[in-house]
Structure 1
């Protein structure tokens, strides 16, 4: 299939998933132009694709690409010579699992740090007012006020952030940061010495939010210097420089702390969300280390979880056993996630059902 000479990427230079896609395009040396969205372009892209989110990629002949995960999968097929997909089935599944984790678990703490802290919120609301809302004919202070209240309502209040849950949301970042520091202080990339899909899965939150926003960035610099270095290195990585470096074929021992979080928190959370969708509930309750969250049910995350489950079920038994032998906690969590419903964690609440892409908008 023909590819445009230069991809037109509609997004923002402070956007979680725009940053993920940009890092991938830079690494693959795919020329692109970042078209900074305003509200009119956001609506235009949404009308073209049927989805109000970013980034969106303008393709050939009026065609569009949407969703960073699916865009990367599509481009991997077009440019397999610089692939980021491990060839060994067990390692490839782990890379896909960690992309899901980076995209869907780190979203809440990333938005929390951006909008719950006064100095971060002041900075980012100003940037959005001057950028995304530059075409809105209102004074800057009114645009800032509108942005701040919108973001806090959607990404804090509606996403289960309360005074009683805030510390646990912060812990989601700190625990993941510590697990990544354990990995990246010993090896160059998440799965080994060559960049893979797992790196780009973590990159959206780790780059545009945790690395750039003042409060989480200060934490990263002091608490996880190896992660800080990895963020900068990946932005400057060219995959062609690693062509002669073998893809990882074993699951490193260094990943065990990270997999404990995936098994104990992420997989049960994704399963609970899916069960809520299947039961027709708009919200569900989830217990994270003794902190009870009331969360909106997200259809998109249910779809991601269904893909993950299907991939796991399609693995040959010996490949499943290989994953289980490496990390029994993860193996047990995977078995529960694909086999047993956990409706005991589900409870519907009478609020409006969120749109499919609410959690993926900005």
Structure 2
């Protein structure tokens, strides 16, 4: 990473190269050709910059703008930058592609946390040395090189429990998760043999959200890198494209077309992830009804059941997942009157059972908190 003093008039990206939301934003900045400085989040940076900017949270990524403002949350960062830097837009012009882009954003940001965390922390025999060194380099930059791995022990103890205690990954459902992950990667490899990006010749929001977990976890951690990613040459080529500033960019697929190679992935998503999302919405509604005075929602509100590839699990319920789903609904709500009908006809033609169910209590993510929209 670069020194914090190298860049005077650009963006500062605070994060870690093994954080998938950090590399999602880094990929976007490179695609746009925006000058930025990536800053390691040492203990001092966390205490002096990150926590004051986020109201006390130690989270990454955080982006500092040339104007001195701080933005937290990878999706909000991309939204804010898109509103300022209009060239090389990552938003398709028409509704079907907009919705598919948002669905893949939801898939990458919210659902690929399962394989990302499983393959990192449940294959410690292969990954632990690499992870300790990677975490230590980020947090203990001033330590001697040979000792930095020791600085990775504390965060490894924290994150190592995520697959089991937060996501409910167990010996009973891990085989189904691994089979689904392999199917997903095979389907993406097939897709990228025909298209440079998800929706044609330029990346959309969904590309960047997929890139985060696929690069920072599956392509860097030794076990998934060797067993899942390296054999897939077309997926590897896409990963390389997503890490570059392309000299020229292509066009969206004409006629608001959605490639058939993406349809199987959407089927899996609607079957499993949206079922979980609807449970989150119900539990969020129940929590708000029992806490009517609350303006903001907690990060977790109990647990909900989920199913992945036919196997059951129970994970912490994150109202943030509802907000991510609401981003899928936004282009539908703002579309011209005739477009939702075209979207519905296409969904029906592909046997995709998507119904844009509205939450009872819409949410907004601001100032590192999830708010009830009616309280802002």
For 1:142 and 1:148, the matched residues in 2 are separated by 10
Q: Does 1:39 align with 2:43?
A: yes
For 2:184 and 2:317, the matched residues in 1 are separated by 23
Q: Secondary structure at the match of 2:357?
A: helix
Q: Secondary structure at the match of 2:307?
A: strand
Shift of the 136–299 alpha-carbon distance from structure 1 to 2, 3 Å rule, reads farther
Alignment of 1:273-292 (within 5 A): 273-280=280-287, 281-292=301-312
- Report deviation, 1:222: 5.0
For 2:234 and 2:241, the matched residues in 1 are separated by 10
Alignment of 1:172-251 (within 5 A): 172-238=180-246, 241-242=248-249, 245-248=250-253, 249-251=256-258
For 2:85 and 2:34, the matched residues in 1 are separated by 9
Shift of the 329–101 alpha-carbon distance from structure 1 to 2, 3 Å rule, reads farther
For 2:349 and 2:52, the matched residues in 1 are separated by 44
For 2:42 and 2:266, the matched residues in 1 are separated by 39
CA RMSD of superposed structures (Å): 2.7
**What is the aligned partner in structure 2 of residue 308 from structure 1?**
328
- Report deviation, 1:23: 0.8
Q: Does 1:127 align with 2:146?
A: no
Higher helix share: 1
* Native 8 Å contact 1:267 1:333 kept in 2: no
What is the aligned residue count? 336
- Report deviation, 1:310: 4.2
Q: Does 1:29 align with 2:12?
A: no
* Native 8 Å contact 1:116 1:156 kept in 2: no
For 2:211 and 2:183, the matched residues in 1 are separated by 16
Q: Does 1:294 align with 2:325?
A: no
**Length-normalised TM-score, structure 1:** 0.84
CA deviation digits over 1:106-153, x for unaligned, max 9? 01210111111022133102321343245799x767644433321112
Shift of the 49–217 alpha-carbon distance from structure 1 to 2, 3 Å rule, reads same
**What is the aligned partner in structure 2 of residue 256 from structure 1?**
263
Worse-superposed segment, 254-263 or 147-156: 147-156
**What is the aligned partner in structure 1 of residue 104 from structure 2?**
98
Alignment of 1:66-105 (within 5 A): 66-105=72-111
CA deviation digits over 1:59-102, x for unaligned, max 9? 24542111111111111111112212111122122112211211
Unpaired runs of 5+ in structure 1? Answer: 342-354, 358-362
Q: Does 1:323 align with 2:328?
A: no
* Native 8 Å contact 1:220 1:228 kept in 2: no
Shift of the 123–270 alpha-carbon distance from structure 1 to 2, 3 Å rule, reads same
